[in-house]
Amino acid sequence: MITYTALSKNPAVFRRLSGHTLREFDLILDKFKSVYEEDIRRRSNNPNRKRAWGAGKPSHIKSIEDKLLFILVYVRIYPLLFLQGIIFNLSESNACYWAHTLLPMLDKALGYAHKKPERGNGKTLDEILKEFPELKSIGVFIDGMERPIRKPKNKGKNDSFYSGKAKRHTVKNIVIANPDSYIHYLGKTQPGRKSDKTIFDEDKIRGPSSILNKEKIPLGADLGFEGVKMKNVNVMLPNKKPCGRDLTEAQRDQNKALARARIRVENAICGVKRSRSVSDAYRGIKEGFEDILINVACGLHNTRVAYRYSTIIKY
């Protein structure tokens, strides 16, 4: 059985298993503890509760540090639940219980830490630009992120989730990132068959309501977003090769410059997929659980960016 006390003595192994340094763990722990205590108060004050708090068989995961470590390891390496139980000296059913109990708490804790991306239909870029006004000149980048799932047994779902691009069944989200690879927006989880442009239209992402000096906000995208238009936003797409002709030297240079800038959103997606829970095929059957996993993975990625690499985000 691994514990926080034992594992924290070896920072290199701790970082590989949890995906975070000890300092980052402590920063997440502060918010996670608040969420856990809030949940205890909610359940203790339930008028239908029949037993005093602490009754019943004691848990093998005793400390709040071990509980956070448990869920971080689960998100990071995504083992089978019976293996997760062996690692933390739990039965498979208990490992399943704690995974489904602690993951929403971690999601809420990352929200308290202001590391979760914006969600929801009809969002505008105003919230992002209000918090990070320097992005008005630097710009943001948008891309689609695909994640594999198991082949659905339902024939209708089977067709709608099959991605011709990935050649497997997937789900997809739209992400908007800044040049530091910090993810500011995560779209709704959609079937992988849908195009990036279709998902973008359904998410109803809008440009800022107003801009200074009439300079439009740069937004870099790939050809999957061809036809996208946003108010007060200059959507930058690579030049498409004309049928039967080659691109000019100037157009190739423009494409290279855009590709060098857009690599940041690819880096952001790569950083999110450090969590094997979103890079491996989703094995769960609980509806909506895959959406919590991607939300948590983005929040953990943003935590790493903010405390390790960011030059734009100051704390």
pLDDT-derived band at 29 (thresholds 50, 70, 90) equals very high
Q: Which residue has the tokens 């009439």?
A: 214
Q: What is the pLDDT of residue 46?
A: 83
Taking a C-beta distance cutoff of 8 angstroms, is the pair 108, 187 a contact?
A: no
User: Does residue 164 share a domain with residue 106?
Assistant: no
Taking a C-beta distance cutoff of 8 angstroms, is the pair 199, 174 a contact?
A: yes
Q: Which among 306, 107, 295, 305 is positioned nearest to 187, based on CA atoms?
A: 295
Integer Cα distance of 15 and 85 in angstroms: 20
Q: What is the pLDDT of residue 213?
A: 54
Q: Which among 293, 64, 312, 29 is positioned nearest to 21, based on CA atoms?
A: 29
Over 80: is that where the pLDDT of 212 sits? no
User: Does residue 143 share a domain with residue 75?
Assistant: no
Over 80: is that where the pLDDT of 104 sits? yes
Over 80: is that where the pLDDT of 105 sits? yes
Count of residues in the chain: 315
Over 80: is that where the pLDDT of 311 sits? no
Q: Residue 245 sits in which domain range?
A: 126-284
Q: What is the pLDDT of residue 166?
A: 80
Neighbour-count burial for 206-221, b at 16+ CB within 10 Å, e otherwise: ebbeebeeeebbbbbb
Q: Which uninterrupted H or E stretch holds 173?
A: strand 168-177
Q: In this structure, is residue 307 part of a structural domain?
A: no
Please report how the helices 289-304 and 249-272 are oriented relative to each other, as an axis angle in degrees rounded to 10: 110
Taking a C-beta distance cutoff of 8 angstroms, is the pair 127, 140 a contact?
A: no
For the chain, percent of residues with pLDDT exceeding 90: 54
User: Does residue 80 share a domain with residue 8?
Assistant: yes
Rg (CA), the chain: 22
Q: Which amino acid is at 247?
A: L
Structure tokens at 245: 């002709």
User: Does residue 157 share a domain with residue 88?
Assistant: no
Q: In this structure, is residue 262 part of a structural domain?
A: yes
Q: Phi-psi category of 181—alpha, beta or left, where left has phi over 0 and alpha has psi -120 to 50?
A: left
Q: In this structure, is residue 167 part of a structural domain?
A: yes
Integer Cα distance of 315 and 312 in angstroms: 10
User: Does residue 98 share a domain with residue 144?
Assistant: no
User: Does residue 258 share a domain with residue 135?
Assistant: yes
Number of independent structural domains in the chain: 2
Q: What is the mean pLDDT of residues 195-218?
A: 81
pTM reported for the whole predicted model: 0.89
Over 70: is that where the pLDDT of 51 sits? yes
User: Does residue 278 share a domain with residue 143?
Assistant: yes
Q: In this structure, is residue 131 part of a structural domain?
A: yes
User: Does residue 65 share a domain with residue 92?
Assistant: yes
Residue with more model confidence, 108 or 138? 108
Taking a C-beta distance cutoff of 8 angstroms, is the pair 223, 239 a contact?
A: no
Q: What is the mean pLDDT of residues 207-227?
A: 80
Instruction: Give the three-class secondary structure for 45.
Output: coil
Over 50: is that where the pLDDT of 314 sits? no
Q: What is the pLDDT of residue 45?
A: 83
Q: In this structure, is residue 289 part of a structural domain?
A: no
When the pLDDT of each residue in the chain is averaged and rounded to a whole number, the result is 88
Helix segments in 178-285, DSSP class H? 196-203, 249-272, 276-279
Q: In this structure, is residue 290 part of a structural domain?
A: no
Structure tokens at 3: 């514990």
Cβ neighbours for 172, distance < 8 A, ≥ 6 positions apart:
144, 145, 146, 147, 163, 189, 190, 191, 192, 194, 196, 199
Integer Cα distance of 283 and 99 in angstroms: 13
User: Does residue 234 share a domain with residue 145?
Assistant: yes
User: Does residue 81 share a domain with residue 212?
Assistant: no
Taking a C-beta distance cutoff of 8 angstroms, is the pair 199, 214 a contact?
A: no
Q: In this structure, is residue 306 part of a structural domain?
A: no
Over 80: is that where the pLDDT of 209 sits? no
Q: What is the pLDDT of residue 142?
A: 92
Residue with more model confidence, 51 or 162? 162
Q: In this structure, is residue 295 part of a structural domain?
A: no
User: Does residue 104 share a domain with residue 175?
Assistant: no
User: Does residue 135 share a domain with residue 102?
Assistant: no
Domain boundary among 55, 86, 112: 112
